[in-house]
Amino acid sequence: MHGKKMLVTTDLPVSAANEDFFEVEKYISGLGSFICECETPMTIAIQGDWGTGKTSFMNLIRNNIDHAVVPVWFNTWQFSQFNLDDQLPILLLTALSKKLDAGQKEVLDKFINTLIAVSNAAVSSTLNVDLKGTAEAFTAKNAFDTIEELRDTFQQSIKSTITKSKGKDRVVIFVDDLDRLNPKRAIEILEVLKIFLDCKNCVFVLAIDYDVVCKGVGMKYGDQMSEDKGKSFFDKIIQVPFKMPVTQYKIQKYVDAYLNKVGIHGGDVALYESLIGKSIGCNPRGMKRLFNAYLLLQKVHASDLSGEGMQRALFAFLCLQMSYEAVYNLISSSKDTYFTKEIVEVIAREAKLAKNSHGNIPISSESNDLYEEIKAMYPSTADENEALSKIQPFLYHLCDAITDDNDTLSDEEYQKVCAIISISETTVGVTTKVAAPMVGAKKVVYVLNVIQEIYQSYQENGSHFKMNEAWTKALATIASRESVTSSTISDKCCRQLKLSATQFQANTQELIDTYTQCGSINSIKHCALFSIILENNSKTLDETKLLNAFQGIFS
């Protein structure tokens, strides 16, 4: 029943140099030399997003320098899984003391008991309870003396460890997964490191990200703490920030190795690499998830995935799913509206034109609705433009991957593409509910809201009504209600109707004048605004709904 073992890959971090697919050896060697030669104490931050390989990087550094230093490893996230967040600083110091040489057993016991006393005193003060032994253990000396005693005891442990290490002159303490903790807890760990572990002959290497530090400072000390304060905190704790060199990763070697594992060879390799590069990018964890999902679906749907075209399509939609899930959900739930055979062919042709012209080309009318829905997912024009600059090139590669050399699909091939999308839904991590396609009145909701606000100003001001003032007030009112900027509302309205702001105001004035003179909503059909809406949305406009919507404005 069971065949040969699947060549899936786990998410275990790299620990040996022969697993360095990204060819970061020069960074490992350089940072390792710095750690061995720098003055102490020293704190180094290994910064990077989740999945960029921080743990693997620190593993390789540890293996590179363990002949010259005493390495100690602590994984904060493992402890946090057992609801021990409040005790993490104590657990960290206790674990480190056990891994070091703390002299006689009574010295180690004294160190740990003092840590526990400090922790219990804090708990006792917070909860207003009297924990047994807390008063005797902690109030015998003031807090300053206790902290100094902890520091001295730990320094003695460091010194003793180095003395017994036969020629090694420093302890290197690796603290992993700090950025997986609640940011506030991560800050508390950093504070402990600064207070207790500011010891000679120590180098601390921390997996942490600058953004996590800034967020944690705000959570711990209040939102009034500015970003500059967060940066100051980071700079005081961290002497050397090191950002993961993801842009320098040699991902071709890594991708080729895994493509070979899953049976992809030959001329298609470049296309697969482009799909990854335009979606997941240089994130090792993301690539592992991608290849494992692909292998899983190959096993489950082997009979449905015969042929290179089907496998290529599956891979492309998995890239979309894992990098642009909202867009994937839109296409998956509304293929008949936003990913028709015609739209796929148009985008494939646009991809070829963009490649030949070395840049993006104007969006065609056929694919415009898809891109408009994608833009609607983002709160501001700047966000829209940034997202589209990433998503559009990927969609070029996706549609290129599922069409033939002539950028066409037969009806049968399109049905297979739809089947592939359904198959790929098996590996969706979180299903996001996608709103139904906006048609008729729903599609012009901002337009309707702006006109409603302008008409209200007209009723309130009568002969003193001024369109430009009413327009500005309408935008501000809706922007406040929607928690966006006035320019965002203006951009969405004007883009929806393909009008300038001046033209929008002129047509709205004509709409108001027509209604005022005729007193009948049916006469709206004769106004310029309605005709423009009808012209630009003729494929999806529900005329009755739109009339009802405008009736609501004037009623």
pLDDT in tens, the chain (555 residues): 444 444 445 554 555 555 566 778 899 999 999 999 999 999 999 998 877 888 889 999 999 999 999 998 888 777 665 555 566 777 777 777 777 765 545 555 666 666 665 555 443 343 333 434 444 444 445 556 767 777 787 888 888 889 888 889 999 999 988 877 777 778 877 877 777 667 899 999 998 877 877 777 777 776 555 667 777 878 888 899 999 988 787 777 777 887 887 777 666 778 888 899 899 888 888 888 898 899 899 888 888 887 778 888 999 999 999 999 889 988 998 888 889 999 999 999 988 888 777 665 677 777 887 887 887 777 566 677 788 888 999 999 999 889 888 888 999 999 999 999 999 988 876 544 444 333 333 345 677 778 888 888 888 888 888 998 999 998 888 888 766 678 777 877 776 666 778 888 887 887 777 777 766 555 555 554 555 554 454 444 455 555 565 655 555
Rounded to 5 degrees, φ, ψ at 171 are: -105, 130
Note the pLDDT of residue 171: 93
CB burial string 229-255: b at 16+ within 10 A, e below? ebeebbeebbeeebebbbeebebeebb
Contact of 177 with 55, CB cutoff 8 Å? yes
Note the pLDDT of residue 172: 94
Query: Which residues are CB-neighbours of 123 under 8 A, at least 6 positions away?
Result: 86, 129, 131
Element of type H or E holding 443: helix 440-443
Contact of 496 with 446, CB cutoff 8 Å? yes
Rounded to 5 degrees, φ, ψ at 73 are: -120, 135
Nearest to 191 by CA among 229, 236, 246, 223: 236
Note the pLDDT of residue 138: 46
Torsion of CA 431, 434, 436, 437, to 10 degrees: -130
What distance in Å separates the CA atoms of residue 395 and residue 392, rounded to the nearest whole number?
5
What distance in Å separates the CA atoms of residue 215 and residue 227, rounded to the nearest whole number?
9
Judge residue 439's burial from the number of C-beta atoms within 10 Å of its C-beta, 0-12 exposed, 13-18 middle, 19 or more buried. middle
Nearest to 421 by CA among 402, 437, 400: 402
Note the pLDDT of residue 418: 93
Query: Which residues are CB-neighbours of 210 under 8 A, at least 6 positions away?
Result: 45, 47, 231, 234, 241
Contact of 275 with 268, CB cutoff 8 Å? no
Query: Which residues are CB-neighbours of 352 under 8 A, at least 6 positions away?
Result: 400, 407
Beta bridge partner(s), residue 73: 174
Nearest to 240 by CA among 33, 529, 510: 33
Rounded to 5 degrees, φ, ψ at 379 are: -75, -20
Note the pLDDT of residue 137: 47
What distance in Å separates the CA atoms of residue 28 and residue 168, rounded to the nearest whole number?
20
DSSP 266: G
Nearest to 194 by CA among 180, 208, 182: 208
The single residue listed with the structure tokens 């007193």 is 519
Beta bridge partner(s), residue 392: none
Torsion of CA 203, 205, 208, 213, to 10 degrees: 0
Instruction: State CA 187 to chain mean position distance.
Output: 21
DSSP 41: S
Judge residue 34's burial from the number of C-beta atoms within 10 Å of its C-beta, 0-12 exposed, 13-18 middle, 19 or more buried. middle
Nearest to 539 by CA among 396, 402, 342: 342
What distance in Å separates the CA atoms of residue 51 and residue 548, rounded to the nearest whole number?
51
End-to-end CA, the chain: 71
Max distance between CA atoms of the chain, in angstroms, equals: 99
* Residue 393: Cβ within 10 Å count: 19
What distance in Å separates the CA atoms of residue 24 and residue 47, rounded to the nearest whole number?
15
Beta bridge partner(s), residue 72: 173
The token pair at 145 is: 């003396």
Torsion of CA 504, 510, 513, 514, to 10 degrees: -130
The single residue listed with the structure tokens 């940011």 is 183
Rounded to 5 degrees, φ, ψ at 174 are: -95, 125
The token pair at 529 is: 């605004």
